[in-house]
Amino acid sequence: MIAPSHIVVGQFAYFFVAAVAGHKPHLAEALIAAASALLPDLDKRDGMVGRWLPWISGPIEYWVGHRTATHSLLATMLLALVAWPLPDGFRIAIIAGFASHPIADMMTPAGVAWFWPSRVRCVLPGNEKYRMAPMSLGELWFVIIIAVLTIPVAAVAQHGAGPLGTVRDMLGWFTDARTHYDAHKSEADWWLDVAGQDNRAFKPVQGKYRVIGPWQNGGLILDTPAGPVTVCREGTCDWYAERAVLVRGADEETTVRTLKAKATTTEALRAALAPLERVGQVYLIGRLRARVPPAPPTITATGTVHEAVTLTYASLSALRNWPAAGVFDLDVTVQVRHIPGTTVPDVSIMASDGELAAELRRHLP
């Protein structure tokens, strides 16, 4: 096959393997797959790659011949060992692109020495009249078919859920969406495309909303224009999900910070968290005591004086509604969800007796 045909086949192989592996493809990886699909022709001096590196291609072709060592299973295995330490996407691109080349060349009359150093030529299919001569009309039609098939395969791969996940999303099972979220929540910004019923207002709901986090054993908390809501397959949640599809958003990392204080203020808490808000989405999980307005489901309070407040993925926007007040027994985990590679600053609440309000000072030992 000619070089453009190998590039098309290499792209199909990359997207196919990415779809099976549940890996979301990227442009840089696709380009690497295209380059890897040309590498086996390093054993041909007048080939595209051979002309770029004649000082390597010449000796290889002279000593072992074309479609032998570089087209072999042994070469593919050695390349896989070299690429194994790389990130998943680049490893998939290199191996899939490279391996696609000899497999495609098996469909030509000459075949390849797949089991080199054995000189036996492997062909596919066995009947020679069904194989394609290079630059023939048969190769053209084959490449057109592969290019057309690449479109739906790339769409499935872009979904990033794998073949089983794609079937799951077609069925729209909420329980499977929650299970998949639990297994992959650290990888990306997740959204839920949900259709169901509002358990409070008795009306249908439908839309695509960002997932804030898990809710109890089988639900999710969603960020909606009206504020956070819980969704599950029970009547106890805000919404009942009849159909739900988990949609992968942009790649994302989560960095955790911890804040603890025996006594502080709501202003000091907001000031401590402000640097984190400039990095990404900030959510608080934990407990404290304060007289602040509850905002279920992410902020709940019990008691009458210095209520026990539970934070369940509470956002900073909810904390802005808190009045100036004392905060006691603060113990929260701060999640910062941000673009991969972003530096997240350390945070702390610095307070001295002189800085605390009189209301707080009398509670200190």
pLDDT in tens, 194-207: 999 999 999 999 99
pLDDT level of residue 12 (50, 70, 90 thresholds)? very high
CA distance 134 to 2: 7
* SS3 of residue 352 by DSSP: coil
The domain ranges of the chain are: 3-160, 164-251, 253-361
List, as own/partner pairs, every contact residues 201-207 make where C-beta atoms lie below 8 angstroms and the sequence separation is at least 24, other chains included. 205/239
Using 50, 70 and 90 to split pLDDT, how confident is the model at 362?
Answer: very low
How much is the pLDDT for 43?
Answer: 85
Given a cut of 80, whether residue 22 has pLDDT beyond it is no
State mean pLDDT over 99-109.
92
pLDDT band at 175 (very low <50, low <70, confident <90, very high): confident
Who has greater pLDDT, 235 or 211? 211
pLDDT at residue 364 greater than cutoff 50 = no
Asked if residue 13 lies in contact with residue 96, where contact means CB atoms within 8 angstroms, the answer is: yes
111-143 burial, b at 16+ Cβ within 10 Å, e below that, comes to: bbbbebeeeeebbeeeeeeebbeeeeeebeebb
Residue with the two structure tokens 């001569």 = 133
The CATH architecture that domain 164-251 belongs to is: Roll (2.30)
Average pLDDT over residues 305-327: 88
Q: What is the pLDDT of residues 122-169, one digit of tens each?
A: 888 877 777 888 888 888 899 999 999 999 888 888 766 566 556 655
Tokens in use for 154? 């790339």
Q: How confident is the model at residue 111 (pLDDT cuts 50, 70, 90)?
A: confident
Query: Tokens 């390849």 map to which residue?
Result: 112
Write down the mean pLDDT value for the chain: 87
Q: Do 180 and 215 meet the contact criterion of CB atoms below 8 Å apart?
A: no
Q: Please compute Rg for the chain using Cα positions.
A: 29
Distance (Å, whole) CA 230 – CA 233? 10
18-29 mean pLDDT: 86
Q: Is the pLDDT of residue 185 over 70?
A: yes
Name the residue with tokens 């910070």. Answer: 257
What average pLDDT does the segment 228-247 reach? 92
**Looking at per-residue confidence, does 47 or 273 come out higher?**
273
Q: Which residue has the tokens 């699909």?
A: 37
pLDDT in tens, 283-314: 999 999 998 889 999 999 887 666 899 999 99
pLDDT at 164: 57
Measured CA distances, 286 to 12, 278, 308 (Å): 47, 22, 11
Collapsing DSSP states into helix, strand and coil, what is residue 230?
strand
For residue 88, give both structure tokens: 């998943």
